[in-house]
Amino acid sequence: MAGLLTLLALPILGSTASAGALTAPGAAAQVSSRALSASPTTVQFPPTTLGDFSAFMNVTLQNTGTTTESVTSLTLGGADPFDFIVGGQNTCTSLAAGASCLVMVSFSPNALGARQATLTPVDGSASPPVIVLTGTGSEGYYEVTATGAVFAHGDAQLLGDMSGTPLAKPIVGMAATGDDGGYWLVASDGGIFSFGDATFFGSTGAIHLNKPIVGMAPYSDPTTGQVTGYWLVASDGGIFTFGAAPFFGSTGAIHLNKPIVGMAPTPDGGGYWLVASDGGIFTFGDATFFGSTGAIHLNQPIVGMASTPDGGGYWLVASDGGIFTFGDATYLGSTGAIHLNKPIVGMSPTPDGGGYWLVASDGGIFTFGDAPFDGSSAGSSTSAFIGMAGDGAPFVPTSSAKASFSRGQSRHRPA
């Protein structure tokens, strides 16, 4: 939601306006003065998941002078102005002497860690008050087992799972809505299980499949950013679309050297990549081919992929945790040279593209770059872990700031 700057200011009931002081004949005339104060002058927001919005917090502007103040605009500046949102309509435009109004501010971080900005009311004076805005961008993640048990770490919310429920087929993947509010689980027969604000758009649970489903990806409307569908992919590269997710093609009718093991959507929802276990890459729609490991001898098979936030590259991960980078994807480390108790089964990038997590079949988590370690589920389940998902939404970097972007995911505005 970067670049969104709308204003909301509410007059405080009980404020009194002064039309100016009267002077008695012969008395010295009073000199009019202008002054605007803000309270508080520092606003600290609670840690907020990338892709989500904090609740609004209020700043009171008061005209402490003797003449009417005109606040022509509210300006966000400082290090991270695109991480804060001033909501609604500006009704502080004219403040009589002694009158006050409220300005409502929300926090929507575009990167992990400490974020800071300033809010300055422009009133024509040489030294208007400056409000310092601070917050911390956070990110959690989920792990899921073949039996549908979900484990949440960091700020990720556990919203339900299928543990204890008999399944016709095992769970093979999961995807999160990106606002820390929901996720889907998908089974190898294409059965879909939705939790929290994840919407059920349909499944292949009642359809005869030539090959099993191996993964899924959410689709978001390129105009609104709201999740309006999803894709399922089978091991032969067959694509099944639900909701508003468009069909861009598949490898269902192509002879593959190795089976498809995963997919990733482009940030604008206009295409997707499929990856085979030999690292072969198949592109559809506006997905760009940046390279593959199809002609490279691999020590272990590829088990998953993830695209960068701007769609300008992707990572491939092998079952030994080897990482292969293409396009603008940055190499941040791997477990390729580490002895693992169990194989790697998946990966998830941080929303800012500055890091990634790898998950092993025993629930072990390995972090690289700015990906925080918030715990693992190693030893927590007798069922094998099959994948993971971060709970925040990725965004597209811009030249002026890192603007938020919802890749197949929705963001919730505060009420």
Q: Which fold has domain 9-137?
A: Immunoglobulin-like (2.60.40)
Average pLDDT of 121-141?
Answer: 91
**pLDDT tens across 235-263, in order?**
999 999 999 999 999 998 899 999 999 99
- pLDDT (average), residues 152-178: 95
pLDDT at 89: 62
Average pLDDT, the chain: 86
Cα 20 from Cα 386, distance rounded (Å): 72
Question: Residue 10 above 80 pLDDT?
Answer: no
Fold of 139-404: Methylamine Dehydrogenase; Chain H (2.130.10)
Contact 89, 73 (CB under 8 A): no
Q: 167: pLDDT confidence band, cut at 50, 70 and 90? A: very high
Q: What is the mean pLDDT of residues 106-127?
A: 90
pLDDT tens profile 262-305: 999 999 999 999 999 999 999 999 999 999 998 899 999 999 99
Domain range annotation of the chain: 9-137, 139-404
Q: Residue 206 has what pLDDT?
A: 86
